[in-house]
A and B are shown apart, each in its own frame.
Chain A
Amino acid sequence: MAKTVLEMQHITKTFPGVKALDDVSLQAYEGEILSIVGENGAGKSTLMKILSGSYPCDSYTGNILVEGKTMQFHSTRQSEEAGIAMIYQELNMHLDLSVAENIFLGNWKQFGNVIRWNQLYQAAGEYLELLQLEVEPTEILRNLNASKQQLVSIARALSHKPRILILDEPTASLTETESATLFQIMLNLKKQGYTCVLISHKLDEVFAYSDRIVVMRDGRVINSHNREEFDQSRIIAEMVGRKMDNLYPKCAVPVGEVIMEVRNFSVPHPQNARKKIVEDVSFSVRKGEILGIGGLVGAGRSELVNAVFGIIGRQSGMVVIDGKEIQIRKPEDAIREGIALVTEDRKLDGFVGGMSIEENITLASLKAICRYGIINHKKEQLSARKYFDELKIKAADMTVHMETLSGGNQQKAVLSKWLMTKPRVLIMDEPTRGIDVGTKYEIYKIMVELARQGIAIIMISSELPELISMSDRIIVLSGGKVSGELQQEDASQEKVMELATRMVV
């Protein structure tokens, strides 16, 4: 039996209203590749954030032991010093600095108070060589492609001289050959005694390269499998592991004529103006239909709907409602045309935390409750009350500030805000992210009811069961392009995943 490098004991972490981790215990051994699999929301990312010190040690219960010693991380720095290096899903680097500077970001001191650049470049070169990455240490990071940037971030992690490497979806933005190179490197590192913890949705990779697989679901560890007993169907069953029909109250409603059409949408990449994050995407949605949009993180789904709604600019494309082209330059225009968008990150752009529930519900419909610019408070109260009651927002009353509510109730209030604008097309970007199971169910019921009233719903979801169970039709994006379309009766998690990972040329 190999030496235990890392041990997590009885980790429990709760967010308001949700138990994200429930008594999780796991070990990682020296020189192994350990994969943690599970659906979105299973608790993998939370677990990794605890391990990396992003969630300080007093925000959860349980112990972390590194090489037998109990650790208490108050910050990510302490976790790094203990030998844990995290490679994040989203690139977390300075695109306008050189490769070498990025590798030693925050660690420049070892090269003197006045930086000895030659030494810095030389040291960076060694890590690049270790990763078989053929770029100059002086190259500016922005000029590299996604996979090389990803490898630089691994070089950075290695520069902290870790014992344990944590890779969160490292291949999300890589092509197949690039992924293969990355895994060769991981196998090399493993031989040198590094422990790699891999989080990935791409099960093929997981099966091909892992020594052990731990399955998580609903914040718990379900099972652990050694390499010799890998069984794909069993592991998938453990990942999904619940009766789907109970959780999704979808029922078919008659689908009417096409309301909105999006034609040939292209959106420039936010970090690189020469690249496109959405390329030539077209789709349409009908009255009473729930259209699902699937795809991996970074496939351009949020950017697509944000551009349709006028939050970000587009390069080309048009929006047609009822057969007429409409001009959307800013969200105001979209709202006027009867489009509503529940955004992905409600804290960022979904609600105003310091304002009351009532004020948030009426925020997008101020005109409707005003006369000559003066707010009719009675009218405001009445209209907000209607949604407050209908959506069963749990709060003492409507004057409670938004920031004190749980995620689920915040989401209901955001949804109320958009329903008050009387939309004909409701776009929901990850509508149930970070929400407890009970509230999720309520939100699904509301969606079905809205569809029955003839509203067209577009739902982006990374949760495959949700996507498959709630959508009448699914389009899947991959690399900014539509890689396929599925009707509900043909949709399965495997098919969506297959389309999501398919490269479209």
Chain B
Amino acid sequence: MKKKISMNGLIKIVPLAILCIVTGMINPVFFAGSNLIDLARSVSFLLIVSVGVTYVLLGASLDMSIGSVMGLGGAICGLCLVNNLPIWLSILMGLLASAVVGIVNAVLIVNCRIPALIATLGTMYVARGIVNVLTKGEPYYPLPDEFKVLGQGTLAGIPYSVFIAVVIVLIAHFVIKKTSYGRSLMAVGGNREASRVSGINVKRTLFSAHVLVSLLAGFVGIIMAARLSSAQPNAGDGWEMTAVAAVIIGGTSMYGGYGSVLGTILGCALMETISNAMVLLHVSVYWQKITIGIIMVAAVGMDTFRLKKIASK
């Protein structure tokens, strides 16, 4: 059993490896140190958000508002910073604002039983709208240098965000595999009614997953602001699609109950490598959206097909 899983994991690395080699052969810049570090940084950003998305999907829910929450987290933090609030407080405010969106999502989905897709599409618009109202479409800058370190600083040449992502992934993986909360989340995603009948607090479990994904999204929004030296009003736009696609490619099911945080690493690496490769191969930016859309639908299609195969057994 264990062996089969690791074999599966290995097979998934093959397309990524081929993509890297082909891109590198056409444009050797791909293997340049600076490009690899850039790639690592963007993978780490996507990965932090996608860990949250993994949790939400494992619980058979969905969150389309994460892109807007990234924008909101960064904007609120930026707003505080340009008003000379201390850095720690500004970050905290950004996280708080993100958490509020998560709580609203959770209340709508868990308590009001509004379908997750609709509820979070709604909050996606509202959150982005708030950002636009606050910023009036202009980025917040300049931001203090001590803050920028968060997004620009490196340790032994490797961006801080990579270390942060590694720590978050390890914790998230541990929680899913080893804790009662993780087990409950998997059970709720696998069969919500059976979980409720077995005495699991379904509402609390889903609630926390939704708050977590928003917190992580807001956090990435903040690091992104630090990285860009400004809080951009359109930061995070479209990330919900990329993140959901990455998580599903990583083997987590849209329908809940199956998947892992470790698989998400691979999904994120693949998604970011594709977009990096497209830049290096001089593919138009407009094609990137088309590609992501197709990958997303194909990944969900494969997921659906796999579940059907299991069900028909």
Contact = CB atoms under 8 A, between A and B. Distances in A.
Contacts of A330: 196
Interface string A330-371: 111011100001010000111111110001000110110010
Contacts of A363: 183, 187, 194-195, 198, 200
B186 to A, nearest CB: 7
B207 to A, nearest CB: 15
B184 to A, nearest CB: 7
B52 interface: no
A331 B179 CA distance: 21
Contacts of B258: 354
A331 B197 contact: yes
Interface string B146-183: 00000000000000000000000000000000111101
B198 A354 contact: no
Contacts, number: 81
B1 interface: yes
Nearest to A370: B180
Interface residues of B, number: 25
Contacts of B191: 349, 351-353
A198 to B, nearest CB: 33
In this complex, the interface size class of chain A, counting residues with CB under 8 Å from chain B, is: 20 to 34
Interface string B287-313: 000000000000000000000001101
Contacts of B180: 366-367, 370, 373-375
Contacts of B197: 309, 311, 331, 341, 343, 349-350
A461 to B, nearest CB: 20
A442 interface: no
Nearest to A362: B183
B33 interface: no
B15 interface: no
A280 interface: no
A364 B199 contact: yes
B138 interface: no
Contacts of A399: 1
Interface in B172-226: 178-181, 183-184, 186-187, 190-191, 193-201
B185 to A, nearest CB: 11
Nearest to B196: A331
A403 B313 contact: yes
Contacts of A403: 310-311, 313
B257 A355 contact: yes
A417 interface: yes
Residue of A343, A351, A354, A370 most packed against chain B (CB within 10 A):
A354
Contacts of A352: 186-187, 190-191, 194-195, 257
Nearest to A348: B193
Contacts of A364: 198-199
A348 B195 CA distance: 11
24 contacts: A311-B196, A331-B199, A348-B193, A348-B194, A349-B191, A350-B197, A352-B195, A354-B310, A355-B186, A363-B198, A370-B179, A373-B179, A373-B180, A374-B178, A374-B179, A374-B180, A375-B178, A375-B179, A377-B178, A399-B1, A403-B310, A403-B311, A403-B313, A417-B198
Given A311-B197, A349-B196, A373-B179, 8 more contacts: A331-B197, A334-B199, A348-B193, A352-B191, A363-B200, A366-B183, A373-B180, A374-B180
